[in-house]
Amino acid sequence: MTTIEEAVSFGLSFKNTYIDTPFRKADWKLLRIKGSKKAFLCIYERDGFVNLNVKVDPAWRDFWRSTYASVIPGYHQNKEHWNTIILDGSIKEDDIKRMIAESYDLVTDSPTKRIYEAVKRIPKGKVATYGKVAEMAGNKKMSRAVGNALHKNPDPDNIPCFRVVNSKGELAPEFVFGGMGEQRKLLEADGIEVKNNKVDLSKYGLE
């Protein structure tokens, strides 16, 4: 990858992305996420080379900078959270793509997305409390956010929110996808015993 066209093409291969040219210089291009409009890739020419600015996890920031001399602190951006990749031919193609992909993942991440991914990991025959889901999603303190996210579950067939109960193992009195009776029916179909609209966490709770 050495040209603007190649960088743009790869950036646009990610879901829900589009190209924007908000600056005076036409060769400065931003690749953004539809909806949030957040940029994950900035492409421009500088000192005879195509440069890419990518968002980076601070845990990996210095690794990339020490691995390649052509990966430097973000040019014209927050140097704690952004790196600049100079496409001078010295960086492995796979690593360039990996850094762009990591930037995309960082920008598209959200608490709600992490909550849904956590719920997907609750196996059949088990339940998790709101607090456990919050912990699995990376923040023990966002139990309330778990409830709000599940109330707006966009894909209940694949995000099994019926496997989430309160801290006492009780079913949701207002289970949004058919009421408490529907949640009980789905849990029982999973092989989970429900007594008095309550699940025994010691037996079925996710560790």
Pairing of strands 128-129, 164-165: parallel
The torsion angles phi and psi of 66, rounded to 5 degrees, stand at: -80, -25
Which tokens hold the place of 120? 């997907």
Closest CA to 134 of 124, 146, 125: 146
Active site residue 161: yes
Q: Which of 41, 133, 150, 161 is catalytic?
A: 161
Q: In whole angstroms, give the CA distance from residue 159 to residue 102.
A: 24
Q: In whole angstroms, give the CA distance from residue 161 to residue 141.
A: 19
Query: Residue 82, SS3?
Result: strand
In order of 16, 45, 90, 119, 177, the CA distances from 7 in angstroms are 16, 12, 16, 35, 43
Closest CA to 54 of 68, 40, 64, 71: 40
Q: In whole angstroms, give the CA distance from residue 127 to residue 187.
A: 9
Q: Which residues are catalytic?
A: 161
